[in-house]
Amino acid sequence: MKKPGKMLAELLRHVTKRPATTQYPFKKIDVPATYRGRIVFISENCIGCKLCMRDCPASAITINKVGEEKIFEAVFDLDKCIYCAQCVLSCNKKALMTSTDFELAQITRKNLRMVYDAKPKPPAPPKEPVVAPPADAGAAPASPQA
Ligand code: SF4
Ligand code: SF4
């Protein structure tokens, strides 16, 4: 057991220090932009290859085709997800991203199933009109007049 004198010295030293904790949830700290919080799904970019499903170590993500169109929804089981971001690394279409959202607590487990709806892909940009070359293109330039 520490002697009272040592305890008092330690107490006084901590009186002048900033607290090591924050008054969460009343005061929130800023997490870094690279924080691995809730995974975000961008349906417009998804091609349905399911690489993310295959590589997820927790079987926490399901990609479903919706209707006859090639549009996809994603279902995340947030209670299974370990927030490793492997799915983000596996997706080469930038359809999955990490976010800084870490406040994911729910009262019931079924609320931890998050469905990102399928969204139609934006229309492809119009193709550049093909311009025919002028009729004399490729002909030798006229020789200068003497
Ligand atoms: S989210 Fe990415 S990896 Fe997963 S199915 Fe869609 S395109 Fe493939
Ligand atoms: S963050 Fe990890 S555990 Fe969560 S869905 Fe992606 S791959 Fe699976």
Residue 104's CATH number: 3.30.70.3270
Of residues 143 and 69, more confidently modeled: 69
Q: What distance in angstroms lies between residue 63's CA and the mean position of ligand 1's atoms?
A: 8
Let me know if residue 53 belongs to a domain.
Answer: yes
Average pLDDT, the chain: 88
Report residue 146's pLDDT band, with 50, 70 and 90 as the boundaries: very low
Q: Is 139 within a domain?
A: no
The answer to whether residue 8 is domain-embedded is no
Nearest to 46 by CA among 7, 75, 17: 75
Q: Is the pLDDT of residue 57 over 90?
A: yes
The pLDDT tens digits of the residues spanning 19-37 come to 888 899 898 888 999 999 9
The verdict on residue 77 lying in a domain is: yes
Give the N- to C-terminal CA distance of the chain in Å, as an integer: 112
- Asked whether 97 lines ligand 2 (CB < 6 A), one says no
Q: What is the mean pLDDT of residues 59-79?
A: 95
Ligand nearest to the CA of 52: 1
Domain limits for position 50: 29-116
Domain-embedded: residue 49: yes
How many structural domains compose the chain? Answer: 1
Distance 29 CA to ligand 2 centre (A): 24
Distance 10 CA to ligand 1 centre (A): 55
